Chain A
């Protein structure tokens, strides 16, 4: 995509984020919207991995939870300023992702899916078990987010913070897909062998997007912890990881806006279905299967394609 198209897309997204609160009747809507925006940040990162790297991660909720617990513990126990804690947690998560990705992504096939599945579940079990540190299944209280003495409080303030972070994430993702790494990954998608013949270190490119996607998840997790003020290990469960993958594939692989749309839709869905809570798992599973069967490219690219076809027929 050209720089101009990126800027247009970014401006469009900014406009939607700015205008959406006009339709929020109360603070409950802000609360749901903040969750949606933060999960959208995770999905924009995960989309780089799935859509451009051609790999799936079944452990991103684990990275999200590590960011959340890292921030909570560094600020609560050691008194580290929240922003520094967020950066430290993200650096740690990025390092973990690098240590996993580096050996695993040299192998062909979907070994990353298996490895991340293992890592995600281990993280979840550790968070549940080490109750002396994490509070165990009972959860952990988190201090508010303060920058230079000013605390971000209330759902409205968090809405603007989360919106700004999402815009920054989309911008970064756009820069990455237009960088040599992004072009290398697109070449890998076309033909891995051809890309290698051209001298692209395909494994290295995949490791880079994996690390970036893990860092995005960690940052979103840190912000979520401060915003909600209380976290439990379940934010890092296998089910949550699967939900994140579903958001990306539903919105559309290799489409940054698709990832945002998927995250927003699947965050709102359980709120809408709240009275039918027992159907939630069934509906989520059905969405995953139906998307892959009927709309394998996802909603946003699918709609774009349909619109183009319709235009051509006319």
Chain B
């Protein structure tokens, strides 16, 4: 009984950590520009696929991981420069459509570069499972959780302790005032895409040894990260992290105790529930505008 409970909890926390990183990526870009970046999931896919390909080609794992993160960040920045910035004045609906287009485009390019098959990475520190109160825990799950905590701490430090991060926060509070005190709004947007791409890529790389990855892997991971961000309250970093873990855990328990076929539907049921009954999310700004 307890063993089963723990087993589902471990599984939920592991996938929840990836949703948390993706959700944080949504929050950072949303704060910088009120854009919902539906291409977030493709960052996860590109990170995982690039690392798997480089490692398979013989590159040492740490080097392959770093190179994959850099590649993904370049893709994120190119996306912002070439597609988001030119459409800036066209309104939010237009930009949402641009990011969906970008997501399909990136997936299309990935399908040309890679095959449709699954790719994997070796586990970072062996495959021997640890026994915890009757449940088993894979060392890679600890890697996922540890790296996610480290990334979240890094992001927190960046936004609260560096002048660049503070400039980005200022832009999210009041973009006009931020421009007036000399903050470069275009650069803020560029950096936010680079950061989100980094978060996505890191998540994609650490989870690949567990779940494997293919060119379609980004769709669901990205949309569930979006559910995490909505649950936490769009634009709230803490909310995205908590939301991600909750979505992951809810999904794992639903799969374990209710029906594994409907595992993928849980995140979307949560989205509907939040929008209907808790439109600001768990940690969102209070006093949502009512039309």
Contact = CB atoms under 8 A, between A and B. Distances in A.
Does chain A bind chain B? yes
* Interface residues of chain B: helix, strand, loop or mixed (majority): helix
Contact of B101 (A106, A121, A203, A292): A292
Contacts of B268: 117-119, 121-122
Contacts of A103: 275-276
Given A129-B261, A280-B108, A285-B108, A118 B289 contact: no
A282 B108 contact: yes
Given A56-B97, A281-B105, A284-B104, A289 B276 contact: no
Given A117-B268, A288-B97, A292-B97, A107 B275 contact: yes
B291 A192 contact: yes
A289 B86 CA distance: 10
A110 interface: yes
B252 interface: no
A121 B265 contact: yes
A56 B112 contact: no
B262 A285 contact: no
B142 interface: no
Contacts of A238: 219, 223
A246 B101 contact: yes
Contacts of B100: 58, 242, 245, 288
B102 A289 contact: yes
A284 B97 CA distance: 12
Interface in A273-301: 278-289, 292-293, 296
Interface in B83-99: 83, 86-87, 90-98
B291 A202 contact: yes
* Interface residues of chain A: helix, strand, loop or mixed (majority): helix
A105 interface: yes
A288 B90 CA distance: 13
A197 to B, nearest CB: 13
A105 B291 contact: yes
A194 B9 CA distance: 51
A83 B97 CA distance: 36
B109 interface: yes
A129 B262 contact: yes
Contacts, number: 142
A302 interface: no
Interface string A116-152: 0111011001100100000000000000000000000
Given A113-B96, A285-B108, A292 B272 contact: no
B269 A122 contact: yes
A286 B101 contact: yes
A108 B105 contact: no
B87 A279 contact: no
Contact of B223 (A56, A121, A279): A121
B76 to A, nearest CB: 15
A104 B275 contact: yes
Given A121-B223, A282-B105, A288-B104, A293 B86 contact: yes
Given A111-B275, A119-B272, A283-B108, A289 B101 contact: yes
Interface in B64-96: 83, 86-87, 90-96
A270 interface: no
Contacts of B101: 246, 284-289, 292
B107 interface: yes
Contacts of A283: 108
A203 B271 contact: no
Contacts of A167: none
Contact of B290 (A106, A281, A284, A296): A106
Contact of A108 (B94, B104, B276, B291): B291
B111 interface: yes
A50 B92 CA distance: 12
Contacts of A280: 108
B80 to A, nearest CB: 12
Contacts of B87: 289, 292-293, 296
B93 A279 contact: no
A285 B279 CA distance: 30
B275 A110 contact: no
B291 A107 contact: yes
Given A281-B104, A292-B87, A125 B264 contact: yes
14 contacts: A54-B93, A56-B93, A121-B223, A121-B268, A125-B265, A279-B112, A281-B104, A282-B109, A282-B111, A282-B112, A287-B101, A292-B101, A293-B83, A296-B87
Q: Identify the 3 closest CB pairs spanning chains A and B, nearest first.
A: A288-B101, A285-B105, A282-B108
